Structures are given as structure tokens and as C-alpha cells.
């Protein structure tokens, strides 16, 4: 997949998350929001010339993803990625432990993260500092 396709898929997943929120399906909305974040992570990596197939091997690519964001001076974006991983993916979807109010707040925060991630993609294409 290309960077543009991954970005489009990320936004599509986020829109699906918002629809699920409207339907009061908080748990599935959390997972769709997480998918949006994951697609954007892959887009950042593909923009950094990591082959798409490699971006799917999460245990291998996370250290590379960490290095890319740190090299680009985007530690806050990286920290928020891990926050979403633990809250939306882990505590909300898999465990069902995060309360609805907190889950909704994190889902809505994903939109800001996606916007920032798109900015990083543009920066990544320009800087090539990793």
C-alpha cells in the first residue's frame, strides 16, 4: 500500500469509529479508532521508505517507528501512540475495562493525532533524517 492509501484508510477507519460512537457502540468504536492510528503509523513508516509488508510486523518495526519519530523530534506523538495502544486497543476493546467517558475522550483525541501524523509524514518525506 502507498502512503496516500494508508492515510485514506486511517481517516476512513476514524470516520467509522465516529459512526459507531453515534450508535453507542463504544467498544467497537475504540477498536476502529485504534485501526486508524495503526494505519497512520504504517503510513509514516512507508513515507520513511520502510516497505509496507515490513510495517505489519509489529514486534520488529516498533523500534524503527520509535527511532523515526524521535529523529523527527516527535516524542509527544510517539507517547500518544502508546497511550492509544494501551487505552483504546488494550483496556477498552480487549479488556472492556476503560469507562465509556474516558474511552470517548481518547477516541476523539485520535483525530488530533491523525492530523499531527499527517504533518509528520510531510516532514518525514522532506527531512530523511533517520
Residue 129: per-residue pLDDT: 47
Residue 101: per-residue pLDDT: 83
Residue 130: per-residue pLDDT: 43
Whether the predicted pLDDT of 7 surpasses 60: yes
More confident residue, 74 or 99: 74
The residue ranges of every structural domain in the chain are 3-127
Other Cβ atoms less than 10 A from the Cβ of 122: the count is: 10
Other Cβ atoms less than 10 A from the Cβ of 81: the count is: 21
Q: State the average pLDDT over residues 30-57.
A: 94
Query: In Å, how far are 11, 51, 108 from 56, measured between CA atoms?
Result: 18, 9, 25
Specify the CATH class of 3-127 in words: mainly alpha
Q: What is the pTM of this model?
A: 0.88
CA 100 – CA 123 distance, rounded (Å): 35
Query: In Å, how far are 10, 38, 70 from 14, measured between CA atoms?
Result: 6, 11, 25
Amino acid at each position: 500500500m502507498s502512503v496516500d492509501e494508508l492515510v485514506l484508510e486511517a481517516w476512513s477507519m476514524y470516520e467509522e469509529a465516529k459512526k459507531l460512537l453515534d450508535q453507542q457502540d463504544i467498544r467497537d468504536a475504540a477498536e476502529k479508532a485504534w485501526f486508524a492510528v495503526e494505519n497512520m503509523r504504517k503510513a509514516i513508516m512507508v513515507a520513511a521508505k520502510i516497505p509496507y509488508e515490513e510495517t505489519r510486523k509489529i514486534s520488529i518495526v516498533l523500534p524503527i517507528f520509535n527511532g523515526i519519530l524521535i529523529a523527527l523530534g516527535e516524542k509527544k506523538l510517539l507517547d500518544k501512540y502508546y497511550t492509544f495502544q494501551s487505552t483504546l486497543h488494550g483496556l477498552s476493546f480487549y479488556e472492556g475495562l476503560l469507562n465509556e467517558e474516558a474511552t470517548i475522550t481518547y477516541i476523539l483525541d485520535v483525530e488530533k493525532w491523525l492530523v499531527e501524523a499527517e504533518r509528520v509524514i510531510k516532514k518525514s518525506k522532506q527531512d530523511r533524517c533517520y
